[in-house]
Amino acid sequence: MRVSKIGKSLSRLYVQVLIGIIAGILVGHFYPDIGSQLKPLGDLFIKLIRMLLAPIIFASVVVGIARMTDLHEAGRVGVKAVVYFEVASTIALIVGLVVVNIVRPGSGMNIDPAHIDSSSIATYTHAASQHGLLEFFMSIVPNSIVGAFANGDTLPIIFFSVLLAIAFAKLGPRTAPFVDMLDMFLHGMFGVVRIVMYVAPIGAFGGMAFTIAKYGIGTLASFGQLMACLYLTCAIFVVVFLGLVMRLSGLSLWKFLRYIKDEIFITLGTASTEAVLPQMLIKMEKLGCSRPVVGMVLPTGYTFNADGTAIYLTMAALFIAQAMNIHLTIWDQLLLLGVMLLTSKGSAGVAGAGFVALAATLATMHKIPVSGLVLLLGVDRFLNEARAVTNLIGNGVATIVVARWEGALDMNKARAMLDRTDTSIDALESFDVAPTAPTPSNDVTPRPHTH
């Protein structure tokens, strides 16, 4: 009996990924020469997922919107999503600002800006110079559709997909065969995702082994206070704010975290939310969120709702100021907050997005030297894990909130799904909720809209 239980546990994806992470830490620490050569394992897994992102996002958005009976619904979902994104991002920035002022992880380092070699951050500062608000909006419209798909640029793909879906919806029933074919293609892509997920533990192992081998556990000790501060702040944001939001939505945060535990561990091991976007699209729809809401909110949230990155930006900026003994008044910090509301939105599709956004913020402020980014280079990979996991959870919650707000969330199905212990994709595929009689109040969705 014990052996069968162990075997069942080992067959679960999150257990395999967790084993991969632990094995990667051990190999990277005790055999750094080997660990430093394992980076291609993590990179290969990310490439396999990125290969699927463009067609999955395109098909999800087009099928979802094209099948809407009312195009006003698409606009309404978009507006509600943006409102929630802005509120959540602002609260994340404020939480980070408050905690870093209380803990002050950079105090006592006494770094002299004149003695910092900034050559190692030249790539990030160059990218930051092209990170303005105008450039961001211009990048939404692709130079060519083929180029957007070839480069995997999420926002241009979403922009084109929305326009095409609206055109199909206006053409009416005659487009139904193509939309049905696209829906079948989407299911095929999700089948490929399930195949790719078999190598997720290997990707997590390679990514973690390389990180530990390159930066060393000693780096964690040197910047332990900053890391602890960021992880603590992310935990506070998830438990307090997102927990309250989930409660107001009528669902349990803890059950939701258990529901997406596979995706959380994969994100932790790879430090990438892209690695689990296809799985999250499946799971949010299985949870009872309507396909149009999932297709619009989740991919867009990857750019506009980076709660973890928002926390990181405030904490990292003030950490550098504290380490260099630069005093920032309350007005300086509020200005910093305002700038970050903009810079945190324009980093989609850029390697080291959080680092680039931070460089853009510091370059705009002029009070904190951009060269201070050098202090974060060694530990940024470890900080990225916390912000990636927070971004993942935040976008899942955002999808639930917008779906509930829009009246496009089946609460009976959501509760049944969250009560399950086996939340793997294969298990969810064979599970369906028997239709139930409508219950009172606003607990049953979707509801009709009148105009």
Q: Residue 247, class by beta-carbon neighbours within 10 Å (0-12 exposed, 13-18 middle, 19+ buried)?
A: exposed
With tokens 């980070």, the residue in question is 96
DSSP 433: P
CA-to-CA dists, residue 345 to 90, 91, 216, 221, 313, angstroms: 12, 15, 32, 31, 12
298-338 pLDDT per residue, tens: 888 877 788 888 888 888 888 888 888 888 888 888 888 88
The band of 269, judged by pLDDT with boundaries at 50, 70 and 90, is confident
Of 67 and 248, more confident: 248
- Highest mean pLDDT, choosing among 298-312, 339-353, 414-428: 298-312
**Are the C-beta atoms of residues 392 and 261 closer than 8 Å to each other?**
no
Crossing angle of helices 224-236 and 307-323, in 10° steps, is 150
Q: Give the pLDDT mean for 98-123.
A: 69
| Phi, psi for residue 268 in degrees, rounded to 5 | -65, -40
Distance (Å, whole) CA 21 – CA 203: 9
Distance (Å, whole) CA 203 – CA 270: 7
Q: Give the pLDDT mean for 264-280.
A: 85
Count CB neighbours of 343 within 10 A: 25
With b for 16 or more beta-carbon neighbours within 10 A and e for fewer, the 19-46 pattern comes to ebbeebbebbeeebeebeebbebbeebb
Q: Give the pLDDT mean for 50-54.
A: 83
Tokens representing residue 344 in the block:
């945190």
Tokens representing residue 447 in the block:
């509801």
Q: Give the pLDDT mean for 134-141.
A: 72
Distance (Å, whole) CA 316 – CA 355: 9
Tokens representing residue 145 in the block:
């559709």
Tokens representing residue 383 in the block:
């900080």
Count CB neighbours of 431 within 10 A: 13
Crossing angle of helices 380-406 and 353-365, in 10° steps, is 100
Of 362 and 27, more confident: 27
Alpha helices in 68-119 (DSSP H): 71-103
**Are the C-beta atoms of residues 239 and 73 closer than 8 Å to each other?**
no
pTM of the model: 0.78
Q: Give the pLDDT mean for 79-108.
A: 87
| 409 three-class SS | strand
The band of 443, judged by pLDDT with boundaries at 50, 70 and 90, is very low
Percent of the chain with pLDDT strictly greater than 90:
15
Distance (Å, whole) CA 78 – CA 85: 10
Tokens representing residue 338 in the block:
């305002």
Q: Which domains does the chain have, with CATH numbers?
A: 2-429 (1.10.3860.10)
The answer for 158, left when phi > 0, alpha when psi is -120 to 50, beta otherwise, is alpha
Distance (Å, whole) CA 17 – CA 381: 18
Tokens representing residue 329 in the block:
């008044």
- Alpha carbons within 13 angstroms on the beta-carbon side of residue 345 total 22
Alpha helices in 11-132 (DSSP H): 13-30, 32-35, 39-66, 71-103, 122-129
CA-to-CA dists, residue 154 to 166, 174, 363, angstroms: 18, 28, 26
**Are the C-beta atoms of residues 58 and 199 closer than 8 Å to each other?**
no
Distance (Å, whole) CA 65 – CA 83: 20
Task: Give the chain's mean pLDDT.
Answer: 79
Distance (Å, whole) CA 292 – CA 290: 6
Of 157 and 12, more confident: 157
Q: Residue 221 pLDDT more than 70? A: no
- Alpha carbons within 13 angstroms on the beta-carbon side of residue 415 total 11
Which residue type, as a one-letter code, is found at position 101? N
Task: Of 219, 191, 269, give the one whose Cα is nearest residue 23.
Answer: 269
Percent of the chain with pLDDT strictly greater than 70:
77
